[in-house]
Amino acid sequence: MTRTSTNNTTRLYNNNFLEILSRCPFWLPLVVFIPVVFYFSFIGFTSLSEGLILEGILIAVGGVISWSLTEYLVHRFVFHYQPKSAFWKRFVYVVHGVHHDYPNDLNRLVFPVTVSIPLGFVVYYLFGLIPWTVEAYHWIFYSFYAVGYLCYDMIHFATHAVSNNNKLFTSIKRHHLNHHYQKSNTKYGVSSGLWDIVFNSLGSKKKGVQDK
């Protein structure tokens, strides 16, 4: 496995502090969120009675799947929204458009923690509004939703920065790079192409980009 690097980048802000906040090394989300995942999954599963462990596992799987759907919907309908006003054009460019213009900027391949941490609190609160039959399900669902998010961030980084001959990885990478270099209005799934199949957004079946 090899890493590739590039100076293909641009500034988003004239202010140096804001510019720093707009960038994030790939390992920082792991440092921030792995302890969160371990904490909530631990208190969640240890709070369950033995008879509820299987349900807890199903809740965990549901958390990962829910992230996968969120990833698809946000990428397709928020990141690729076509606004008319200057403000929203700037917003879409900052959150995603810059990545399409500079897809190999290694410090803009994962969500900045300045964004993901506040969103993490919001998501935890929203999941708390679900009428769970057992409170521990909230913690388990949230922790594995975060697992899905971390997998997305690391897979996205790898598709742009890592070369590997593994067939599964090559397939995931081809899927995402075709989104960048073939047709950006198709193949919105990054960690999985499942929802592109479900929502018929795979686009052309021609071979397209193999590896960049």
Q: What is the pTM of this model?
A: 0.91
Beta bridge partners of 2: 163
Closest CA to 151 of 141, 161, 159: 159
pLDDT value for 86 = 95
pLDDT in tens, 27-47: 999 999 999 999 999 999 999
Q: Which residues of the chain have pLDDT under 50?
A: 1-6, 211-212
Q: Give me the phi and psi of 3, to 5 degrees please.
A: -100, 145
152/146 Cα distance (integer angstroms): 10
pLDDT value for 199 = 97
C-beta separation of 174 from 209 below 8 A: yes
Closest CA to 25 of 112, 103, 147, 101: 112
Beta bridge partners of 3: 162
pLDDT value for 205 = 63
